[in-house]
């Protein structure tokens, strides 16, 4: 090999190594094999399992109503999450419109050089292009544009670094302990990470924002760049093909592997599934389908409010007159349950017969005065040995202490009997 060829080869290798994170970390979506996808959906649906066997390294299924984890695999491990990062980017965008800036969704912005030259998956922005914030959002969440992510960051906060600070501030507000953001797009960075569980929480929060829910359930959309129309497609292969899927976001880098966050609603049973660290797109798709079908095959939403009310009313019929008040203007006190969150709750079908309610630490005797919401005891709801809820039993009224007048009237009443 000639010296010139050697120098050229070494130069190419050096350039590739230098730009490794930007070249090989692109989220380039493979074409979806929809024939395979349909066969996979039919196969998983026809062969329900009691426990998913996943190839993805990290996964979680979360019920959106109760935030209960229904399945988990390494769900608390800190890992890179690629373009699923953009779920948080969308949150920060929408919550900071008009905050220290004059932006609305309809505002047209000029694309900066940093956005126009970023690599990876792109909407196709060029430095100096004009585009609305609304179209940036669709480009971010549908075709996973790294260029749109950079432009959103610069438009909202002035720089990527300041936008990342807003992302981390939001993570702190959400109580996330194992998530940290360096970029708005998710290309691999050492200090850019989350967990499968916390990513599910982020997605759940995002879907409560109407605009994000609208965007991520959109299959195709036409944006306008510099006066030219461009139709873009959602990279989420399950959207429109698997029953109930209504979002959320795909992702891929070398460090993160193939990633998919999916939101599903079937008859009011809302779940979020997260798979991270899949080796191929087909694996992430298969694992996501498996998690979704496993959940709906094995879990059922149970009306716990009905069960709790029936048990509490039965307890009251027996014990209401036994909650005594000494030296009070009333001898007994009305009782009630404190407010509780999970009135509808997902329970494994083979565990429904193991729902139990018990009453604990009941105090039957009080001395007046008594304030409303004084704790009388607890109602405990368990499924098998797992405690699902601990609900306080409280006094439902104020009862004043008797005064001398009350004692005189009581004596007269007894005399007159």
CATH number reported for the structural domain that contains residue 178 in this entry: 3.40.710.10
- Number of domains into which the chain is organized: 2
In this structure, the answer to whether residues 352 and 241 fall within a common structural domain is no
Residues of the chain with pLDDT > 90: what percent? 78
In this structure, the answer to whether residues 223 and 89 fall within a common structural domain is yes
Provide mean pLDDT across the span 42-60. 90
Q: The tokens 């360096």 sit on which residue?
A: 182
Backbone angles phi, psi at 41, to 5 degrees: -60, -45
- Set 56, 66, 73, 83: catalytic member: 83
Q: Is 86 a catalytic residue?
A: yes
| 3 state DSSP class of 284 | helix
Q: What is the pLDDT of residues 362-372, one digit of tens each?
A: 999 999 999 99
In this structure, the answer to whether residues 146 and 110 fall within a common structural domain is yes
Q: What is the pLDDT of residues 199-217, one digit of tens each?
A: 999 999 999 999 999 999 9
Q: What is the pLDDT of residues 395-406, one digit of tens each?
A: 999 999 987 776
- Set 56, 66, 121, 144: catalytic member: 144
Mean pLDDT is lowest, of 36-40, 59-63, 104-108, 333-337, for 36-40
Predicted confidence (pLDDT) at residue 373 exceeds the cutoff of 90 = yes
In this structure, the answer to whether residues 295 and 327 fall within a common structural domain is no
Backbone angles phi, psi at 291, to 5 degrees: -65, -45
Q: Is 384 a catalytic residue?
A: no
In whole angstroms, what is the distance from residue 38 CA to residue 186 CA? 30
> Is 310 a member of any domain?
no
Predicted confidence (pLDDT) at residue 46 exceeds the cutoff of 60 = yes
In this structure, the answer to whether residues 284 and 342 fall within a common structural domain is no
> Is 184 a member of any domain?
yes
Q: How long, in residues, is the chain?
A: 417
169: enclosing H helix or E strand: helix 160-173
> Is 411 a member of any domain?
no
Return the number of other C-beta atoms located less than 10 Å from residue 307's C-beta: 15
In whole angstroms, what is the distance from residue 71 CA to residue 59 CA? 8
In this structure, the answer to whether residues 286 and 345 fall within a common structural domain is no
In this structure, the answer to whether residues 138 and 183 fall within a common structural domain is yes
User: Quick one: pLDDT at residue 79?
Assistant: 98
User: Quick one: pLDDT at residue 320?
Assistant: 78
In this structure, the answer to whether residues 59 and 163 fall within a common structural domain is yes
391: enclosing H helix or E strand: strand 386-395
Predicted confidence (pLDDT) at residue 309 exceeds the cutoff of 80 = yes
Predicted confidence (pLDDT) at residue 142 exceeds the cutoff of 80 = yes
Greater pLDDT, 14 or 195: 195
Backbone angles phi, psi at 299, to 5 degrees: -115, 150
Predicted confidence (pLDDT) at residue 241 exceeds the cutoff of 80 = yes
Greater pLDDT, 138 or 322: 138
Mean pLDDT is lowest, of 27-36, 93-102, 185-194, 329-338, for 27-36
Predicted confidence (pLDDT) at residue 117 exceeds the cutoff of 70 = yes
User: Quick one: pLDDT at residue 28?
Assistant: 55
Q: Where are the beta strands (DSSP E) in 88-211?
A: 108-110, 130-132
User: Quick one: pLDDT at residue 342?
Assistant: 87
In whole angstroms, what is the distance from residue 109 CA to residue 107 CA? 6
Contact criterion met (CB below 8 Å) for 87 and 261: yes
Strand partners, 110: 130
Domain range for 114: 18-299
In this structure, the answer to whether residues 253 and 334 fall within a common structural domain is no
> Is 285 a member of any domain?
yes
Strand partners, 250: 260
Predicted confidence (pLDDT) at residue 22 exceeds the cutoff of 50 = no
Name the pTM for this structure.
0.88
> Is 9 a member of any domain?
no
In this structure, the answer to whether residues 346 and 294 fall within a common structural domain is no
In whole angstroms, what is the distance from residue 116 CA to residue 124 CA? 8
In this structure, the answer to whether residues 82 and 42 fall within a common structural domain is yes
In order, the DSSP letters of 293-309 are HHHHHHEEEEEHHHHHH
> Is 257 a member of any domain?
yes
Instruction: Kindly list the distances between the CA atom of residue 5 and the CA atoms of 8, 17, 18, 33, in Å, as whole numbers in the listed order.
Output: 5, 18, 20, 41
Q: Could you give the count of Cα atoms lying within 13 Å of 221 in the half-sphere of its Cβ?
A: 23
> Is 311 a member of any domain?
no
In this structure, the answer to whether residues 227 and 347 fall within a common structural domain is no
User: Quick one: pLDDT at residue 3?
Assistant: 60
Strand partners, 264: 245, 271
Predicted confidence (pLDDT) at residue 329 exceeds the cutoff of 90 = no
User: Quick one: pLDDT at residue 11?
Assistant: 54
Predicted confidence (pLDDT) at residue 30 exceeds the cutoff of 80 = no
- Set 66, 73, 86, 281: catalytic member: 86
> Is 6 a member of any domain?
no
Q: Could you give the count of Cα atoms lying within 13 Å of 60 in the half-sphere of its Cβ?
A: 23
SS3 sequence of 30-83: CCCCHHHHHHHHHHHHHCCCCCCCCCCCEEEEEECCCCCEEEEECCCCCECCHH
| 3 state DSSP class of 122 | coil
Residue 338 belongs to domain with CATH number: 2.60.410.10
Predicted confidence (pLDDT) at residue 249 exceeds the cutoff of 70 = yes
**What mean pLDDT value characterizes the chain?**
91
User: Quick one: pLDDT at residue 15?
Assistant: 45
Q: What is the pLDDT of residues 146-186, one digit of tens each?
A: 999 999 999 999 999 999 999 999 999 999 999 999 999 99
Instruction: Kindly list the distances between the CA atom of residue 58 and the CA atoms of 25, 54, 81, 210, 339, in Å, as whole numbers in the listed order.
Output: 19, 9, 11, 28, 35
Contact criterion met (CB below 8 Å) for 232 and 198: no
User: Quick one: pLDDT at residue 407?
Assistant: 66
What is the token pair recorded at 116? Answer: 């126009």
Backbone angles phi, psi at 70, to 5 degrees: -100, -20
In whole angstroms, what is the distance from residue 234 CA to residue 220 CA? 6
């Amino acid at each position: 090999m000639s010296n010139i060829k050697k120098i050229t080869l070494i130069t190419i290798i050096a350039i590739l190594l230098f730009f490794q994170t930007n070249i090989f970390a692109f989220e380039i979506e493979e074409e979806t094999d929809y024939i395979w996808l349909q066969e996979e959906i039919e196969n998983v649906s026809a062969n329900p399992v009691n426990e998913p066997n996943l190839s993805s390294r990290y996964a979680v299924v979360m019920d959106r109503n109760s935030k209960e984890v229904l399945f988990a695999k390494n769900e608390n491990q800190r890992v890179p999450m690629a373009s699923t990062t953009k779920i948080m980017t969308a949150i920060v965008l929408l919550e900071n419109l008009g905050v220290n800036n004059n932006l609305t969704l309809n505002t047209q912005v000029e694309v900066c050089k940093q956005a126009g030259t970023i690599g990876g998956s792109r909407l196709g922005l060029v430095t100096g292009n004009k585009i609305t914030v609304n179209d940036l959002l669709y480009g971010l969440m549908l075709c996973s544009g790294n260029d749109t992510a950079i432009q959103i960051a610069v438009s909202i906060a002035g720089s990527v670094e300041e936008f990342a600070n807003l992302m981390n501030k939001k993570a702190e507000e959400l109580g996330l302990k194992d998530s940290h953001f360096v970029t708005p797009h998710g290309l691999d960075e050492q200090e850019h990470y989350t967990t499968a569980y916390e990513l599910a929480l982020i997605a759940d929060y995002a879907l409560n924002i109407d605009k994000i829910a609208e965007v991520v359930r959109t299959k195709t959309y036409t944006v306008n760049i510099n006066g030219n129309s461009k139709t873009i497609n959602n990279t989420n292969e399950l959207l429109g093909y698997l029953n109930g899927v209504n979002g959320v976001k795909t992702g891929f880098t070398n460090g993160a592997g193939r990633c998919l966050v999916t939101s599903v609603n079937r008859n009011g049973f809302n779940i979020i599934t997260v798979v991270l660290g899949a080796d191929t797109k087909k694996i992430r798709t298969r694992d996501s389908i498996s998690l979704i079908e496993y959940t709906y095959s094995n879990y059922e939403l149970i009306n716990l409010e009905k069960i709790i009310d029936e048990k509490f009313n039965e307890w009251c019929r027996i014990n209401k007159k036994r909650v005594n008040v000494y030296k009070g203007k009333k001898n007994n006190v009305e009782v009630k349950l404190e407010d509780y969150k999970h009135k509808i709750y997902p329970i494994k079908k083979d565990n429904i017969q193991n729902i139990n309610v018990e009453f604990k630490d009941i105090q039957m005797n009080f001395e007046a005065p008594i304030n409303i919401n004084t704790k009388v005891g607890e109602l405990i709801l368990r499924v098998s040995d797992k405690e699902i809820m601990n609900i306080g039993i409280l006094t439902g009224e104020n009862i004043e202490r008797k005064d001398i007048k009350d004692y005189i009237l009581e004596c007269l009443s007894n005399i007159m009997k």
